[in-house]
Structure 1
Amino acid sequence: FLDVVVQVEGREFPCHRAVLATTPYFKAMLSSNFTESSSKVVHLRGIDSISFSKILDFLYSGKIRIGKDDVQDILQTARMLQFDTILQYCWEFIQDNLCPANCLGVMRLADMYGLSLLKKSARNMAVSNFSDVTQGEDTAAEFLSLSPQGLLDLLRDEDLKVRDEDDVVTSVIRWLDQVPENRQTAILKILPEIRLSRVRVSVLQKLESHPVIRESAECLAKITAAREKHLLGTRVVGEDASSPRRGTSDNLAIIVGGWKAVTKQHPYYRQYRIIVQPTPLKSIICLDPDSKRYYHVSNIPTPVYGYMSVASAEGYLYVTGGRVQPLVGHGPHTAPSRQAFRYDFSSDTWLRLPDMPAGRAEHQSVVVDGKLFLVGGDTDATSLKTMDCYDPEEGAWIKVPLLPTIHSPS
């Protein structure tokens, strides 16, 4: 028979003591010297009545319905009642519905209730989707309300998944904009976690001009120094500052040069257009397959008409040789170029390297031990058996042995 009434938020729930005693909380309450052990009415405070009703139904039926709108209330009630089975169900539900839009909130929730495995999963989700988590419209509120320590924990993770360090700075700027007067002290700890040498100058300037930064002479000096070193073509001193994060996307497809078709209306058939003199392109387009985003970087200083070679390593992109005259036939009209350029991803700047020893087109290039090697190709319709090498430390092309055989396009 029903021998006790549990009162929660003014609602009364007639129950069996024996059923309630299957939970550690009620077992201790009803079988000890507490007043409730003999009372006909038990008052519970600080508990949601709807959640308690669902948990009570579970005690009698073995079934419970958990949804996105009530999982947190059920979790809180189950924890207060020391109901481990329901806690496990809530944990599994949250885990199954974890996504970039809610991972920061789940991190806080798991930390509040001591759910270490759930917190780890939520943190991994935030680290693996940092750009979406910090810049998405549906996640902005969670990120902007993140505590300084919470932000630091993410930034200190070597596996932080970002397209580049610009994403980190953009996110920090947005975070600083939210209640900036409360974040002046925090920036002193946050700034050292940013790889300043990996941030483009234009983004550094935005950070440098932020009111919170301008009120800190120490922060302002660090950013100004990093920007000036970028402009001088040097790197910020310090291993951590100059190395990319392990989570930084280094899987890029890079489109260099080419032609843009210039058309005009056909003189007789007005519905058609005809191609006239093509225009060479100086633009560089990158595709990040992870985020499925295209984006432009600074144009190459001089257009290359084709047949150049491209190599990348250690945050640099090398573009060498190719044809430098319009493609009007063959031979002398398409003279091979001696030009060589190096693009610095961290500063979004191009550097004109010393001219190559000889013009070269349709060749291959590769970076080995920091040195750029050019192999094969031709010059003025003559296949080359030489191999050129550029040493960045020397800032010059150095001699290397001849190739044993002649290599045409490699």
Structure 2
Amino acid sequence: MSRNIMSLIIQYAYTGSVLITEDNVLELLLAADQFLVSGLVDACCQFLESSLCPENCIGICMFTEDFHSCSKLHHKAKLYILKHFEEVLQVSEEFLELSLEQLEEIIDKDELNVKQEEVVFEAVLHWIDYAPESRSKHIAMLLPKVRMGLMTSDYFINNVKSNALVMENEACAPLIINAMKALFEFDMDLDGPISLELIHQLARPRLPSAILLAIGGWSSGSPTNMIEAYDANADRWVKVALEDERPRAYHGTAVLDEFVYCVGGYDSVEYFNSVRKLDLITQTWHEIVL
């Protein structure tokens, strides 16, 4: 290690603080991890977390992959990539340096935040085009991770099915057939059976990074207990199935720690002076004792 980094390690040992900068943080983190200086490791991780952006998130994720002491930072960098994927594609040179396995892991995630699945296919082509001689053969491994059943039919026919890489790779043929099954919902004369599991994978919506909840209110002239969630990525409303709950209108709502709190309200007979908590994970209501 350099003399400057050794000096910072000694300074931290005596004073408990050092000046962490973009120029020294990676080398300092390596040294602090080597000497088991946990406080300095934490300080470096906090610095890197605060500087996460589309340009550096992949680099930080890859750098911390083998650091057990940086597991939290590694996880947050992964989540940042998934949440800001479209921005990362536009500005990150590190995206092109991903390994096949790393790219597969990213585009396979339900949490990948893309408004249109076409973005994922374009990302695959962009990655392959960086080193086509060695990467073209990987199209058959990456294509199943793209949820082609979520694409528009025009884009699929004009850009995916007719893509040169896809057409030249025999292993892509069954994937295209299953995608057509998912998109157009018709039976095709095939030599082998259609994979229902693959069809489900190709058409399964990705999880939105945020949702809009409509809880209760008025419906057909009276209060309702219906809850609907709007997925901005898929541009659709979904009914949330819950246990029987009293109709409620004119209530107040607040979100705290992944719980939705409903305060007061009216069911056309009485006004409530109670608070109900909705657990979005278990999709159950709980009475709050005040």
* C-alpha distance in 1 between matches for 2:71 and 2:124: 26
For 2:72, the equivalent position in structure 1 comes to 117
Q: Which has the larger radius of gyration?
A: 1
**Any conservation in 2 of the 1:164–1:249 contact (CA below 8 Å)?**
no
**Any conservation in 2 of the 1:160–1:246 contact (CA below 8 Å)?**
yes
- Alpha-carbon deviations, 1:42-62, whole Å to 9, x = none? xxxxx1332222222222333
Question: How far is 1:93 from its partner?
Answer: 0.9
Q: 1:240 aligns with which of 201, 210, 229?
A: 201
Counterpart AA for 1:223: I
Q: 1:219 aligns with which of 172, 181, 202?
A: 172
Counterpart AA for 1:119: H
SS of residue matched to 2:17: coil
- Alpha-carbon deviations, 1:171-191, whole Å to 9, x = none? 111111111222244333221
For 1:126, the equivalent position in structure 2 comes to 81
SS of residue matched to 2:65: helix
For 1:77, the equivalent position in structure 2 comes to 31
Residues 220 and 128 (structure 1), Cα distance of their counterparts in 2 relative to 1, 3 Å cut: same
Unaligned runs of 5+ in 2: 188-193, 213-230, 239-290
Residues 239 and 225 (structure 1), Cα distance of their counterparts in 2 relative to 1, 3 Å cut: closer
Residues 113 and 250 (structure 1), Cα distance of their counterparts in 2 relative to 1, 3 Å cut: closer
Residues 88 and 313 (structure 1), Cα distance of their counterparts in 2 relative to 1, 3 Å cut: closer
**Any conservation in 2 of the 1:163–1:248 contact (CA below 8 Å)?**
no
TM-score by length of 1: 0.45
Question: How far is 1:210 from its partner?
Answer: 4.2
* C-alpha distance in 2 between matches for 1:167 and 1:249: 19
SS of residue matched to 1:183: helix
For 1:67, the equivalent position in structure 2 comes to 21
Q: How many residues align?
A: 210
For 1:386, the equivalent position in structure 2 comes to none
**Any conservation in 2 of the 1:161–1:249 contact (CA below 8 Å)?**
no
196-205 vs 154-163, which moves further: 196-205
- Alpha-carbon deviations, 1:367-405, whole Å to 9, x = none? xxxxxxxxxxxxxxxxxxxxxxxxxxxxxxxxxxxxxxx
Residues 128 and 69 (structure 1), Cα distance of their counterparts in 2 relative to 1, 3 Å cut: same
Unaligned runs of 5+ in 1: 1-46, 252-288, 292-310, 315-410
Question: How far is 1:206 from its partner?
Answer: 2.5
Question: How far is 1:149 from its partner?
Answer: 1.0
**Structure with the largest fraction of helix:** 2
Please show how residues 1-400 of structure 1 align to structure 2 within 5 Å: 47-114=1-68, 115-134=70-89, 136-137=90-91, 139=92, 141-204=93-156, 205-223=158-176, 226-227=179-180, 230=183, 234=186, 238-247=199-208
Residues 189 and 224 (structure 1), Cα distance of their counterparts in 2 relative to 1, 3 Å cut: same
Counterpart AA for 1:247: P
Question: How far is 1:147 from its partner?
Answer: 1.0
**Any conservation in 1 of the 2:54–2:87 contact (CA below 8 Å)?**
yes
* C-alpha distance in 2 between matches for 1:250 and 1:198: 19
For 1:349, the equivalent position in structure 2 comes to none
- Alpha-carbon deviations, 1:12-41, whole Å to 9, x = none? xxxxxxxxxxxxxxxxxxxxxxxxxxxxxx
Q: Give the RMSD, CA atoms, in angstroms.
A: 3.2
**Any conservation in 2 of the 1:165–1:198 contact (CA below 8 Å)?**
yes
- Alpha-carbon deviations, 1:124-144, whole Å to 9, x = none? 11111111112x22x1x1111
Residues 250 and 186 (structure 1), Cα distance of their counterparts in 2 relative to 1, 3 Å cut: farther
**Any conservation in 1 of the 2:49–2:73 contact (CA below 8 Å)?**
yes
Counterpart AA for 2:30: Q
Question: How far is 1:290 from its partner?
Answer: 7.0
Counterpart AA for 2:53: C
Question: How far is 1:216 from its partner?
Answer: 1.1
**Any conservation in 2 of the 1:176–1:212 contact (CA below 8 Å)?**
no
- Structure scoring higher RCO (CA < 8 A, sep ≥ 6) equals 2
Counterpart AA for 1:151: L
**Any conservation in 2 of the 1:78–1:87 contact (CA below 8 Å)?**
yes
TM-score by length of 2: 0.62
Residues 154 and 101 (structure 1), Cα distance of their counterparts in 2 relative to 1, 3 Å cut: same
**Any conservation in 2 of the 1:128–1:159 contact (CA below 8 Å)?**
yes
Counterpart AA for 1:122: A
Give aligned-pair identity as a percent. 24
**Any conservation in 2 of the 1:158–1:245 contact (CA below 8 Å)?**
yes
SS of residue matched to 1:68: coil
- Alpha-carbon deviations, 1:143-202, whole Å to 9, x = none? 111111111111221121110211111111111111122224433322111111112244
Residues 212 and 89 (structure 1), Cα distance of their counterparts in 2 relative to 1, 3 Å cut: same
**Any conservation in 1 of the 2:54–2:84 contact (CA below 8 Å)?**
yes
